Amino acid sequence: MWFDKIIYPFTVAIAWVWVKIHDMLVALGMSGGPGVAWIVSIIVLTIVVRALITPLYVKQLRSQRAMSVMQPEMKKIQEKYKGKTDQASRLKMSEEMQALNKKYGTNPFASCLPLLVQMPILFGMYRALWNAGAVAQGTFNLGDHIGPIDQALAQEIERTTVAGVSLSGRLTESTGVGLAVFIILAIFMVVLQFLTMKISMERNMPQQAQDSSNPMMRTQKMMMYLMPLMFVFTAFVVQMGIMIYLSISTAWTFGQQMVMMTVMPTPGSPAYKDVLAKRERGYKEWAKPYFEEYDRKREELGSDPEAVAQLNQTSLKEIKSKARSQRVAGNFPESMSEGEVVGVYRNLALQEWTTLPDETWMRGVHRAKERSVVRQEKAAKREQPRRMSREQRKQAEAKERQLAAEHERAEQNRRARREASDRAKSELTPEEVERRRAQRKSQRNNPGQRKKKKRK
């Protein structure tokens, strides 16, 4: 079958990992042969896979958060090019959207990465279990083994059962307790998937996005009911081993969603507001008294710049240490002085928070500092002539007059040469003009002769 040939490399890779995990469990004391070690190895394999793709999931969440922050700017670009269908406008719009994604560090394809990684693994596991029976019976059409799973191991897998159902058995082949286990696992996945999506919509979506007139919201609601139903269909076609894999994976997704809502909630969502209020209370609990004492010391120092710099230097080390424990981003621009950094931490202690002080917030700090530096440079250029002494201004003006005079003289010389050339041409007889034309033509046809004349 062509599908087997395409997915076979993934099947072999998953088979190797699965068998190695099984061997490790046996080495740790579980019984070898048919039995619980093969079932637990599927559970461990699921946990390992989901743990390995957690960084991709975090990247997906960060990209989604940045996308929500950049939505106003994205809408402005879309409105700017609304109704413009010519190629130049579409290209310009695409360039501006790419620049916006780069500015906020977003990747439109980041949300697909966890799914793209899991699909080959799921298909590989599915085909490994599907073909285990054929390998055990010696009828597998792609050889006598699947990676390390030879006939002996395949027979062990076939004899391993859950409530009387083989790991490669399906719901349509099950009866009694085995059928009940299939149904329980299907209900477990349906309920968890529904709760995951419902809680995500109600707690981790911005208020404006929850409007029923929002097309995205309508799509999410439809998916909230369709996705769990897909698990019902899945239960009829996959094996018991895959049901175990999907059940553990669904439980991991639910737990991961709960954790991430407290660590990286979507800006503007109810979960975000709760986390924002909690983090703000925790930060201000120590920061308010600290900066009240800092302000008192700062006032006592008066206008002594060295003493103020020393105070900022010693205070900043302690502030950064405490702020880091509150998960406040600390990678400030290098161009910011210690006093400016202390000022940012001080503002967090005294002002009401509107956003979490995380990586997205820090990117805003970097952009604000870059704009400030540009403004300062422009102001310095404007102020430079005013700060020059009278003698410096006289010297600059004299230099400008000298350059203008030199330019005027050069222009006069060019005009004089042009006029002399024109007069000389007008005084030539027609015969002389024809002779010179013939001479130039001859030189073009004989470049070697012209070079000899130049050397002479």
How many angstroms separate the CA atoms of 158 and 241, rounded?
A: 11
Share of the chain above pLDDT 90, in %: 22
Encoded amino acid at 301, one letter = L
Helices and strands (H and E) in the chain: how many = 17, 2
More confident residue, 98 or 446: 98
Check pLDDT > 50 for residue 136.
yes
Check pLDDT > 50 for residue 423.
yes
Tokens read off for 270: 């109810």
In the predicted model, what is the mean pLDDT of residues 289-305? 89
| Phi, psi (degrees; rounded to nearest 5) at 16 | -60, -50
Q: What is the pLDDT of residue 456?
A: 47
337-355 per-position pLDDT tens digit: 999 999 999 999 999 999 8
In the predicted model, what is the mean pLDDT of residues 429-450? 73
Check pLDDT > 60 for residue 452.
no
How many angstroms separate the CA atoms of 186 and 343, rounded?
A: 55
In the predicted model, what is the mean pLDDT of residues 322-328? 90
How many angstroms separate the CA atoms of 87 and 89, rounded?
A: 6
Number of other residues whose CB lies within 10 A of the CB of residue 41: 23
Burial degree of 182 (CB within 10 A; 0-12, 13-18, 19+): buried
How many angstroms separate the CA atoms of 287 and 281, rounded?
A: 10
Tell me the average pLDDT of the chain.
83
299-321 per-position pLDDT tens digit: 888 888 888 889 999 999 899 99
How many angstroms separate the CA atoms of 98 and 105, rounded?
A: 10
In the predicted model, what is the mean pLDDT of residues 387-397? 69
Banded model confidence at residue 294, pLDDT cuts 50, 70, 90: very high
User: Which of the residue ranges 32-36, 139-143, 189-193, 423-427 would you say has the lowest mean pLDDT?
Assistant: 423-427
Q: What is the pLDDT of residue 345?
A: 94
CA distances to 192, 420, 425, 441, 445 from 433, in Å:
99, 17, 8, 12, 19
CA distances to 158, 240, 265 from 329, in Å:
53, 46, 16
Tokens read off for 393: 């201004």
Q: What is the pLDDT of residue 27?
A: 93
In the predicted model, what is the mean pLDDT of residues 102-112? 71
Banded model confidence at residue 178, pLDDT cuts 50, 70, 90: confident
User: Which of the residue ranges 71-80, 145-154, 215-224, 265-274 would you say has the lowest mean pLDDT?
Assistant: 215-224
How many angstroms separate the CA atoms of 118 and 125, rounded?
A: 11
**Element housing 138 (H / E):** none
Check pLDDT > 80 for residue 209.
no
Check pLDDT > 90 for residue 283.
yes
Ordered DSSP codes for 59-122: HHHHHHHHHHHTHHHHHHHHHHTTT--SHHHHHHHHHHHHHHHHHHT--TTGGGHHHHHHHHHH
| Phi, psi (degrees; rounded to nearest 5) at 102 | -65, -40
How many angstroms separate the CA atoms of 121 and 126, rounded?
A: 8
Encoded amino acid at 348, one letter = L
